[in-house]
Amino acid sequence: MQQLFRQIGFSEEGRQRHSLYHPITRLHEDVIRFSLLRPEFRLYATAFIPFKLGVFAVTGNQIGLTFADFIHYGDRLTDLYQHECAESAGILDQQGHLQLRANLVDLQIKKGIIAPEAAPEPVRRAAEQVKAYFAGELTQFDLPIAIEQGSEFQASVWDILPQIPYGTTWTYEELAYQLSEKDWATARRMARAVGSACGANPLPLILPCHRVIGKDRRLVGFSGGLDIKEFLLDHEIMRCNTGGSL
Q: Is 240 a catalytic residue?
A: no
Cβ contact 242:137 at 8 Å: no
Give the burial string for 76-88 (b: 16+ CB within 10 Å, else e). Answer: ebebebbbbbbee
- Please give the Cα distance from 103 to 109 (Å, whole number): 13
Determine which one of 85, 198, 209, 240 is catalytic.
209
The amino acid occupying position 60 is G
- Please give the Cα distance from 163 to 92 (Å, whole number): 36
Do the bridges between strand 170-171 and strand 212-213 make them parallel or antiparallel, or are there none, so unpaired? parallel
Residues labelled catalytic? 209
